[in-house]
Structure 1
């Protein structure tokens, strides 16, 4: 498994490193630590040429220090660790490096934590989650009383996770990817299906609608239970669950928060340039509103 870990030296970024270090990766892993120097958008004149080279040199030195800090944070991972530095638009560089290096997962920190900030998310994490061709882990670290990320992440940080599944092909891919991780009975994974409630506006179709709703509930629970069985086979504690909601994204967010999930996992089907731009209404809603980290599997 190839992982691209994008870091910038912020407290959120360091928390993402520690989150990754506690993730049950399992199989032999390659981690590349990526730093990006984002030069200021200025017109080079005689005056700017006096300070611009020194500015870039300073930023490159800081990037090297950030890399070493990240390397220390993941030092106990059973992985080969390399580093790479790029210059340019941060989000674009991350996406391009992931493609160039054929990364399986990009790890990036989110900076929004209040309800308002989560909607804004963060330009880099939002860009990467939307445009990367591979899976993306957006880490939203726990925030302490001082308003800063909690840095002391214990082993087995992923205690509870919500796995959103359905009966589409994307869920099969999602389960295949999830079963590559080293889950144990210390991980409690809930496979959940969320479907939209059927509304009835005419009495003459009430019986038919109720029958269809019952069929959907049965199918949804069957799908969740099947996913749960696979997760059990992969070593995790797991259970299936299904909910009927008015808005799927909102339902998943509410479920993850009420169950104190450390992670929510979603599948994303869109791979065309246009579909990547829109990401997917459910995935985007969850990414922007949920309190915990998000793993989008592609």
Structure 2
């Protein structure tokens, strides 16, 4: 095995210990949706959960008149946030190894990323405020910034109707199993996404689709390819065989797994289209995290899915050691 492949394998090898989850909340309905899903994820073992709220307040008062009372104002904001965090944290206590609440002050996205790094979080769960097509494409949102720059995996939650279906109860175990689509586009990214999902116990009834999109720049408008049909079929067969190999460990978690290979001009668009067709609650995209001035950056496919899929998006970057 080449050195680079070996180091990647070591990075993706499951690490001992419970998963470390950071739920970022601003007490909005979007955050409530994220908290609901975070409780419901089928963890293989009880997670360690941190519930974070960032008090978005300036470090200094805006007028001289506020200087004397500024510490008191900050103390009250902190106390109010801490009290509300206890309510958010309560559903986690019966299922988590332990739960802690954290209040930070400053720029929201920066503080979430700082807390995730300092607590060695493996998964950040955060609600997305924008639900319309235009809102999802806009740059600069907290969830977009966190997903783009986090050094760990991020689950950006948007409602898919799962929480509101008939029979919904407070006990998350009574809900229908989740439907997930895992986008497999490169070998290392495939291992990252599949291995991360493999660390969850999906259970009978869970529906997981492994999708590989072959980007064919020679496709015509009607989907016909200029590639020799026999060669194209060989490529598809090889991709299906690889997906079946990856599906094995996921099936061992109890999930029903199907594999699918498609051709398209743009992988991101096809992933979104297939996710909508199979009514996925979550799309999982493996992302290695491209280096940038600010740490890491999303790849183009991951960014397209995050911006254009109407449901929740799981940016998989692997478990921390």
1:61 maps onto 2:79 in alignment: yes
Question: Is the 8 Å Cα contact of residues 208 and 255 (structure 2) preserved in structure 1?
Answer: yes
Alpha-carbon separation, structure 2, partners of 1:18 and 1:296: 19
2:233 alignment partner, one of 186, 202, 214:
214
Counterpart of 1:83 in structure 2 is 101
Q: TM-score scaled by structure 1? A: 0.87
Question: Is the 8 Å Cα contact of residues 166 and 223 (structure 1) preserved in structure 2?
Answer: no
Deviations 1:93-130 (A, max 9, x none): 11111111111111111111111122127611011101
Question: Is the 8 Å Cα contact of residues 251 and 257 (structure 2) preserved in structure 1?
Answer: yes
Q: How many residues align?
A: 290
Which SS does the other structure have where 1:232 is aligned? Answer: helix
Counterpart of 1:286 in structure 2 is 305
Alpha-carbon separation, structure 2, partners of 1:24 and 1:181: 6
- Measure how far apart 1:72 and its partner are: 2.1
Structure 1, unmatched stretches of 5+, are none
Q: TM-score scaled by structure 2? A: 0.81
Counterpart of 1:12 in structure 2 is 30
Moved more, 134-143 or 4-13: 134-143
Alpha-carbon separation, structure 2, partners of 1:51 and 1:3: 36
Deviations 1:267-296 (A, max 9, x none): 001252359554110000100110111111
- Measure how far apart 1:44 and its partner are: 4.6
Counterpart of 1:255 in structure 2 is 274
Matches within 5 A, 1:214-253: 214-253=233-272
Question: Is the 8 Å Cα contact of residues 263 and 292 (structure 1) preserved in structure 2?
Answer: yes
Question: Is the 8 Å Cα contact of residues 19 and 153 (structure 1) preserved in structure 2?
Answer: no
Deviations 1:54-102 (A, max 9, x none): 4423321221132112112334323311111111111011111111111
Structure 1 vs Structure 2 CA RMSD: 2.7
1:36 maps onto 2:22 in alignment: no
Matches within 5 A, 1:160-239: 160-199=179-218, 209-239=228-258
Counterpart of 2:292 in structure 1 is 273
